[in-house]
Structure 1
Amino acid sequence: MSDRNLIILILEDQGLVRAGMRELIQISEPQARILEASSYEEALVRLEEARVDIAFLDIDLKGARSGLDFLRQLRERELDTRAIMLSGRSDKDVVMECLREGASGYIVKDMESDGLFRRALDTVFQGSVFLPANVIGRGGFSPTPPSTQAPVTAESLGISGRALEALYWVCQGLPNKAIARHMGIEEGTVRKDYLPRLFRIFKVVRRTELLIEVSRRGIHVPRPDSVPPEGGAPAPAPGIRH
């Protein structure tokens, strides 16, 4: 279980957009502590103030440094912050670059309604990967109003125990070294065992394709503190609290 509230960073240079996002985030996560920054430099200061769980990063900032630069900074520091990119563009090449750099979601800011944008946020907070429709392809998952249909789970695909834990960290955008640290295993084990196993299950050959499949199917991947090891009781959260 969580022993502190989520800390969420909004990096966005437009004050009105930040205010709108803050309001929507507070609806979805009323107990969250929300930090705001209007520039890359200000976001670095916020990063020193608290351990950020989720960062919503505007790609197209007015300054010399972009939200993508800040994403790279997060990954260079090997932080566990989950990065969701914000942009007015949905170009597939841009989205794929963000995923390669360690993003775990991408929300287009000019969505047609606040209701749809809020459902995109809910998708993120529920542990799923949100990507634009043009990236996940025709017939892909998109946030819809609640229905009676049961959500897709990783367990229903035969992913459990340590493999499920590895999938969670991959979906956070973390590199192999950080995943290995969380799981208490060698980096080579992540690269040679868990990743190939997940690729086979999803019928993909790289991480970006794996994230797209998780998004396309609307799969919920539970946090490690709720992942039971094979044949045992629930495992403790490996090095991160939410």
Structure 2
Amino acid sequence: MNVPAPKSILLLEDMAMVRGGMKALIQLAEPRAQVVEAGSYREAVAQLDARAFDIAFLDIDLKDSEHTGVDVLRHLHEHAMPTLAIMLSAVNDRSTVMACIDAGACGYILKDMAPSAFEPFSAEDVFRRAIETVLGGCLYLPASVLGRGGYVPSTPLQRPVVGAAALGLTPRQCEVLYYICQGLPNKSIADRMGIAEGTVRKDYVTAIYQCFGVRRRTELIIEISRRGIVVAAPGACEQVLQ
């Protein structure tokens, strides 16, 4: 039996006691995970430049610093790192969540993780679900963003991977959608596909927006997440028939 390799996780939180508590929660959710801690923007960037991480949990509000966790997120994407970023914040504000998703985040966790009517999960469950969701190709968003009709199942579900035909897209459009769901900007998508950035924006992204009835990238990402869609990875879009 093949045992999955331990996940490599970076945790950026500038308050040591809070960081220790979050690390404990992550390791309860993923006992075999290798969790590396960072207490500042500088430490986080140094760790990211030194090794590869599967996931980075990034505190947005870094006190006593001219940088924020969003700056670390930008560093990830400016250097085309494959790390999936999940933001940590005490701010439950839709515009803040959307700004993070627009910058390439794959998830957003509220630091006040007390169970609610919308998300009746323990703090440990929140981290477990966030990790499973982003590694499964979807975004983890607060129910406050998705709304009452949001996709917030009480237990993790095995969602089918959806190919181009089921989405009403061409295989290349499906590939672009996959990269969008991974938080990649148009330039990085263009580099991976070997085409011009303008082609991605004008020919592919516009068609995808029309298909889903949205006008912006953040609206698209929310709709994908709300529907619980898992987009097929590049090379599989033509084979997947669901």
TM-score (norm 2): 0.81
Q: Distance in 2 between matches of 1:223 and 1:17?
A: 36
Pick one of 74, 77, 93 that aligns with 1:75: 77
Q: Which segment is superposed worse, 21-30 or 125-134?
A: 21-30
Identity between Structure 1 and Structure 2 (%): 51
Counterpart of 2:118 in structure 1 is: none
Displacement after TM superposition at 1:91 (Å): 0.5
Counterpart of 1:10 in structure 2 is: 11
Displacement after TM superposition at 1:79 (Å): 2.9
Counterpart of 1:40 in structure 2 is: 41
Checking the alignment, whether the CA contact within 8 Å between 1:80 and 1:174 is kept in structure 2 is no
1:213 aligns with 2:230: no
Checking the alignment, whether the CA contact within 8 Å between 1:10 and 1:18 is kept in structure 2 is yes
SS at 2:109 equivalent: strand
Counterpart of 1:22 in structure 2 is: 23
SS at 2:57 equivalent: strand
Describe the shift of the 1:222–1:21 C-alpha distance in structure 2 as closer, same or farther (beyond 3 A).
farther
Counterpart of 1:137 in structure 2 is: 147
Q: Distance in 2 between matches of 1:130 and 1:57?
A: 14
1:104 aligns with 2:112: no
Q: Distance in 1 between matches of 2:159 and 2:209?
A: 21
Counterpart of 1:202 in structure 2 is: 212
Describe the shift of the 1:13–1:231 C-alpha distance in structure 2 as closer, same or farther (beyond 3 A).
closer
Summarize deviations over 1:97-156 as a string: whole Å, max 9, x none: 112222222111222222541323322222211111121223111242146xx6364334
Q: Distance in 2 between matches of 1:24 and 1:16?
A: 13
Q: Distance in 2 between matches of 1:81 and 1:129?
A: 14
Displacement after TM superposition at 1:202 (Å): 1.4
Counterpart of 1:57 in structure 2 is: 58
Long gaps (5+) in structure 1: 233-242
Q: Which segment is superposed worse, 68-77 or 131-140?
A: 68-77
TM-score (norm 1): 0.81
Checking the alignment, whether the CA contact within 8 Å between 1:128 and 1:215 is kept in structure 2 is yes
1:132-171 map, 5 Å: 132-146=142-156, 151=159, 153-155=161-163, 156-159=166-169, 161-171=171-181
1:86-105 map, 5 Å: 86-105=88-107
Counterpart of 1:239 in structure 2 is: none
- In the comparison of the two structures, how many residue pairs are matched? 228
Summarize deviations over 1:33-79 as a string: whole Å, max 9, x none: 33220110111110221123321111112231211121222233333
Counterpart of 1:175 in structure 2 is: 185
Displacement after TM superposition at 1:176 (Å): 0.8
Checking the alignment, whether the CA contact within 8 Å between 2:29 and 2:124 is kept in structure 1 is no
Q: Distance in 1 between matches of 2:17 and 2:231?
A: 32
Describe the shift of the 1:102–1:229 C-alpha distance in structure 2 as closer, same or farther (beyond 3 A).
closer
SS at 1:83 equivalent: strand
Describe the shift of the 1:179–1:5 C-alpha distance in structure 2 as closer, same or farther (beyond 3 A).
farther
Checking the alignment, whether the CA contact within 8 Å between 1:39 and 1:63 is kept in structure 2 is no
Checking the alignment, whether the CA contact within 8 Å between 2:28 and 2:124 is kept in structure 1 is no
SS at 2:231 equivalent: coil
Q: Which segment is superposed worse, 38-47 or 105-114?
A: 105-114
1:185 aligns with 2:187: no
Counterpart of 1:121 in structure 2 is: 131
Checking the alignment, whether the CA contact within 8 Å between 1:25 and 1:121 is kept in structure 2 is no
